[in-house]
Amino acid sequence: MKIGELARATGVSVRLLRYYEEQGLLTSYRTGGGHRHYTADAPATVAQIRTLLAAGLPTKVIRDLMPCLLGDGPEVDACVLGHLQAQLDDLDARIAHLQQARTSLGGLLDASTRASRTGALVPAT
């Protein structure tokens, strides 16, 4: 199938499909005229890529996982489960850090709001 057909079949832009190819996530072959053509399983591959991206995985990690994907779904071979767990642990740590930052920012806003109500803030000149 041509790149435009793949874009229509998957709802992914042609530009993004080219990016996936540049990142080594998707493969095509070129015709004599230089046009990209994809195999019949390309829509399933694009769906897998989108699922992994939605899970927060960067493209370099997805590229490493692609050979370990099982079937057309998001399941992966057991040999990469440790890697996925490490990604999840990293995501949990980033969420905890963001929650702490949110709490600090909320406290700053609360204190500033209280101070402005009492007139404790001096306007900038």
At 27-59, the pLDDT tens digits run 999 988 888 999 999 999 999 999 999 988 899
Q: What is the CATH number of the domain that holds 15?
A: 1.10.1660.10
**123 is a domain residue:** no
Residue 125 has pLDDT above 60, yes or no: no
Looking at the structure of the chain, the number of domains it has is 1
pTM score > 0.75 for this model? no
Cα 15 to its chain centre, rounded Å, is 16
Domain region containing 98: 3-118
C-alpha 3/C-alpha 16 separation (Å) is 11
pLDDT at 123 over 80: no
pLDDT at 9 over 70: yes
E strands present in 59-113: none
Q: How far is CA 42 from CA 62, 74, 104, 113, 119, in A?
A: 15, 14, 46, 54, 63
Give a yes or no: residue 69 inside a domain: yes
CB 23 within 8 A of CB 64: no
